[in-house]
Amino acid sequence: MRQTIAEHHSWVKRLRSEGVAISSGYLVDGEGTPGGGGLLLLQAADYSSAEALILKDPMVRSGQVDWQLHQWVEAVGHLNAT
């Protein structure tokens, strides 16, 4: 699993260097203890483009993670993804 995580980190860094708005991290509880899973946030033109990208993620390709893709629709406020 550590090798897959390292490959995932390299994949995200490469995409960022190519100009893709993407960020990867893990969830922690109120004490800061990890173990609740992770999130991959990205900006894509549409759902199918996001899905095509996610399917290239080493974590997903390895089959070592369960994942779901959700599209988020901004309703109030605005976040700048940089």
The 10s digit of each residue's pLDDT in 43-75 is 999 999 999 999 999 999 999 999 999 998 889
Write down the pTM of the prediction.
Answer: 0.84
Tokens standing for 82? Answer: 């940089």
pLDDT at position 81 is 58
Looking at the predicted structure, is the pLDDT value of residue 80 above 80? no
**Which residue's structure tokens are 């894509």?**
44
Looking at the predicted structure, is the pLDDT value of residue 15 above 60? yes
pLDDT at position 82 is 55
